[in-house]
């Protein structure tokens, strides 16, 4: 058996047979869909626009012989996570990818209506939490699975112009790191992707300038799928922290490990 086929099978055993991807119709989410379909995983694809979502689903079914379910769910809305969970009901979901997350407001805090920030928090904080909760439970029962939360370099520190977005991405980052420590003993791998600027339709809607060193979302997804067993955090070298990315990544991991041991000793397990 060729090496790629062997490792695809190992991936499938660990994270298959179904994956759920939010924000799957374009950009990074579509890259996840294509790469996971190529590994033979069946897909639940979530986004608001049914057209591109269904088109991608049909294409991947034909190309890779997989099954798909799609749902045009607006993750800004209250109750969106329940809709996603009901679409995935009865499926053996081995991988959850929380991808939808970009800030399309492109405004300073007081320049947008408060509702814009409520929606962003609904999608990037509440829905991420509810979906991680909904999918991690059955994974823990089965003692295997994977969760990838897409964070951002903006989540490493406060950032003007995207203050709420950056805060939600810090939440996703911390959530992934905490869950990594809690869930690894149940065979569940959790990874935060601290993503660089990527050439996606969502990014291009608001930013026209040439960005030196901008990443291809396909490469970002390939890296994160490879890193999934080795969490909790992957920081892509980009922006003000580029030179220190691996140092920060290691320091964050070491910290989680130390805190997890302390918490175990002091509070939970003797
Ligand atoms: N691109 C970058 O430069 C960059 C940098 C750092 C981190 N990231 C992170 O990487 C992830 C992917 O980013 P991206 O650039 O590909 O853009 P994105 O806007 O997060 O993702 C686009 C996808 O999400 C869907 N989507 C957006 N809002 C939604 C909502 N309310 N409900 C349901 N689906 C929704 C879109 O489809 P519909 O429009 O049909 O709903 C589309 O399929 C995000 O978490 C982002 O924060 C991106």
For residue range 208-220, what is the model confidence (pLDDT) as tens digits?
A: 899 999 999 999 9
Question: Is residue 27 within 6 Å of ligand 1 at its C-beta?
Answer: yes
Q: Whose alpha carbon is nearest atom 21 of ligand 1?
A: 100
The residue annotated as part of the active site, out of 39, 165, 250, 269, is: 165
Question: Is residue 25 within 6 Å of ligand 1 at its C-beta?
Answer: yes
Residue 266 is predicted with a pLDDT of 85
Segment 3-14 shows an average pLDDT of 78
CA of 113 to the centre of ligand 1 (A): 20
| 19 in Cβ contact with 93 (< 8 Å) | yes
| 96 in Cβ contact with 19 (< 8 Å) | yes
Residue 41 burial (10 A CB sphere; 0-12, 13-18, 19+): buried
Task: Please give the span between the terminal C-alpha atoms of the chain, in angstroms, as a whole number.
Answer: 47
Label residue 269 by pLDDT band (50, 70, 90).
low
Q: How confident is the model over 61-107, as pLDDT tens digits?
A: 999 999 999 999 999 999 999 999 999 999 999 999 999 999 999 89
264 catalytic per annotation: no
165 catalytic per annotation: yes
Residue 3 is predicted with a pLDDT of 47
Q: Quote the CA–CA distance of 2 and 22 in Å, as a whole number.
A: 31
Structural domains in the chain plus CATH codes: 3-268 (3.40.50.720)
Is the pTM here over 0.85, yes or no? yes
Segment 227-242 shows an average pLDDT of 95
Residue 106 is predicted with a pLDDT of 86
Distances (CA, A) of 170 to 5, 88, 153, 159, 228: 36, 27, 9, 11, 19
Q: Whose alpha carbon is nearest atom 34 of ligand 1?
A: 47
| 15 in Cβ contact with 145 (< 8 Å) | yes
Question: Is residue 102 within 6 Å of ligand 1 at its C-beta?
Answer: yes
Q: How confident is the model over 24-70, as pLDDT tens digits?
A: 999 999 999 999 999 999 999 999 999 999 999 999 999 999 999 99
Q: What are phi and psi of 101, to 5 degrees?
A: -175, -10
CA of 28 to the centre of ligand 1 (A): 7
Label residue 268 by pLDDT band (50, 70, 90).
low
Q: Quote the CA–CA distance of 192 and 223 in Å, as a whole number.
A: 12
Q: How confident is the model over 121-166, as pLDDT tens digits?
A: 999 999 999 999 999 999 999 999 999 999 999 999 999 999 999 9
Which pair of structure tokens corresponds to residue 208?
A: 């026209």
């Amino acid at each position: 058996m060729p090496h790629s086929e062997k490792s695809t099978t190992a991936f499938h055993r660990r994270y298959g047979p179904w994956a759920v991807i939010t924000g799957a119709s374009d950009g990074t989410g579509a890259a996840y869909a294509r790469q996971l379909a190529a590994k033979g995983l069946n897909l639940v694809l979530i986004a608001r626009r049914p057209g591109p979502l269904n088109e991608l689903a049909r294409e991947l079914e034909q190309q890779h012989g997989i099954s798909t379910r799609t749902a045009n769910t607006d993750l800004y809305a209250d109750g969106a996570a329940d809709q996603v969970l009901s679409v995935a009901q009865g499926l053996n979901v081995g991988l959850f990818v929380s991808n939808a997350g970009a800030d399309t407001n492109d405004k300073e805090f007081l320049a947008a209506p408060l509702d814009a920030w409520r929606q962003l928090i609904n999608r990037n904080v509440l829905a991420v939490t509810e979906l991680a909760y909904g999918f991690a439970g059955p994974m823990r029962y089965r003692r295997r699975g994977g969760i990838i939360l897409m964070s951002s370099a903006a989540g490493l520190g406060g950032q003007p112009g995207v203050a709420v977005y950056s805060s939600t991405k810090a939440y996703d980052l911390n959530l992934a790191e905490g869950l990594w420590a809690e869930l690894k003993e149940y065979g569940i791998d959790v990874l935060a992707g601290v993503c660089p600027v990527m050439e996606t339709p969502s990014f291009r809607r608001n930013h026209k300038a040439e960005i030196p060193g901008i990443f291809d979302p396909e490469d970002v997804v390939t890296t994160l799928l490879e890193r999934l067993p080795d969490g909790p955090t992957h920081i892509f070298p980009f922006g003000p922290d580029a030179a220190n990315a691996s140092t920060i990544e290691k320091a964050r991991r070491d910290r989680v490990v130390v805190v997890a041991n302390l918490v175990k000793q002091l509070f939970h397990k003797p």
